Amino acid sequence: MKKIKLVMSDFHLGRGRRLKDGSINALEDFFWDYKFREFIEFHTKPPYDDAEIELIFNGDMLNLILTDYHGHFTVILTEAVSLFKLHAIIEGHPVFFKTLREFLKHPKHSLTYIIGNHDQEMLWEKARHVFEDTVGARVNWQNTHYQVDGVHIEHGHQYEAVNRFDPTQPFLTKNLPEPIINLPWGSLFAVQFIIKLKMLRPMIDKVRPFRQMILWCLVHDTWFAITNICRLIVYFLSTRFTKNRYRQSSLKTTFRILRETSVYPDLTDAAKRILRTPEVHTVIFGHTHVHKHLQIGDGKQYINLGTWNETLSLDLSTYGKYTKLTYARIEYPDAEKAPVVYLRHWIGHVPVEDDAVVA
């Protein structure tokens, strides 16, 4: 095997499973540091020991947006605030970052990092330097998407009004003492609304489909559902129809958000539009947390990477809790032909024991 690319997304690394005082971190979503190490080590042994391997992180690898700053959650994200949170994540996942460092020591190994909506703070130059110092190598940073050998790789949040950020204006500076990240409304909502719900119901953002979760809550958790639906309406009106120097908003975007809220994001249509480009044969997205592999036309395909986080499905076909450690493998069996792309599921070896996580 001479050359491969490995693509993964939506790990959502936080401050670690346990906080410094030994308590459980209710906001941590990633528990697979040792599985990740096993995955990487597998790809450093025959037949991959001398292969050219590019590891591609397709957004939301770091859950910076839901990481606290000295115990507080803020949407005023200066460079100093973001650096503090990044250091906390690195400290909380030593096995993960040591694995990356060991992997990148090989001269034929490289890392590409595409920005998502949960790790938008990696737009800061100093944050990138800290990350590179931690992994011991230069990183190929991509702010929006990455296209290579007919494969279009993008996180996917830019196709949702609620999570779309302006790549031409990543920072806000007007009437501010120092620049801050120009967050989309979805990130404000996550920090100011969802975090409080996660503290009460840790699985709230892991349930699919979203509509069925609302119906379930109305029947089985009625008071919680009604009070928070009312809170949501008040929050939306107060944040979308008032001016604030810490965020941007427009009536056009507000109506788009309202139109899209009834449907959990499905990026298939966006993938189809990209696949109309003659030189693109494969689109790889993340973001939705639902892994998918669709053939679209002759020789064209759409892959969604899913997530390595736990998911709770209320759909009858996949009912229950599950975790699939999914990733895309791009292989180059013939230098004269287009690469072959697969959606794969890492299984590895079952550990003897692990923490029993109660969500």
pLDDT at 255 over 50: no
- The answer as to whether 116 is a domain residue is yes
Q: How far is CA 285 from the centre of its chain?
A: 10
On average, the pLDDT of the chain sits at: 89
Of residues 261 and 148, more confidence is placed in 148
Q: DSSP letters of 276-315? A: TSTT--EEEE-SSS--EEEE-STT-EEEE---SS-EEE-S
3-class secondary structure, 322: strand
What pLDDT is recorded for position 229? 85
Spatial neighbors of 107 by CB under 8 A, at least 6 apart, are none
Q: Tokens 């190994």 map to which residue? A: 109
Q: What is the mean pLDDT of residues 62-90?
A: 97
Per residue in 139-192, pLDDT (tens digit) is: 999 999 999 999 999 999 999 988 999 999 999 999 899 999 999 988 998 998
- The answer as to whether 290 is a domain residue is yes
Of residues 90 and 160, more confidence is placed in 90
- Looking at the 3D structure of the chain, how many domains does it have? 1
Asked which of 59-68, 317-326, 334-343 is least confident by mean pLDDT, the reply is 317-326
Provide the residue range defining the domain that includes 304.
3-346
CATH of the domain at 342: 3.60.21
Per residue in 265-301, pLDDT (tens digit) is: 689 999 999 999 999 999 999 999 989 999 998 899 9
The DSSP 8-state label assigned to residue 263 in this structure reads S
- The answer as to whether 359 is a domain residue is no
Asked which of 61-70, 102-111, 242-251, 320-329 is least confident by mean pLDDT, the reply is 242-251
Per residue in 339-356, pLDDT (tens digit) is: 999 999 999 886 666 666
Residue type, 100: L
What pLDDT is recorded for position 19? 85
Q: What is the mean pLDDT of residues 233-249?
A: 66
- The answer as to whether 357 is a domain residue is no
Q: pLDDT class for 204, splitting at 50, 70, 90?
A: confident
Q: What are phi and psi of 239, to 5 degrees?
A: -100, -25
What pLDDT is recorded for position 34? 95
- The answer as to whether 356 is a domain residue is no
pLDDT at 231 over 90: no
- The answer as to whether 355 is a domain residue is no
Spatial neighbors of 169 by CB under 8 A, at least 6 apart, are 182, 248
Spatial separation of the C-alpha atoms in residues 240 and 257, rounded to whole Å: 10
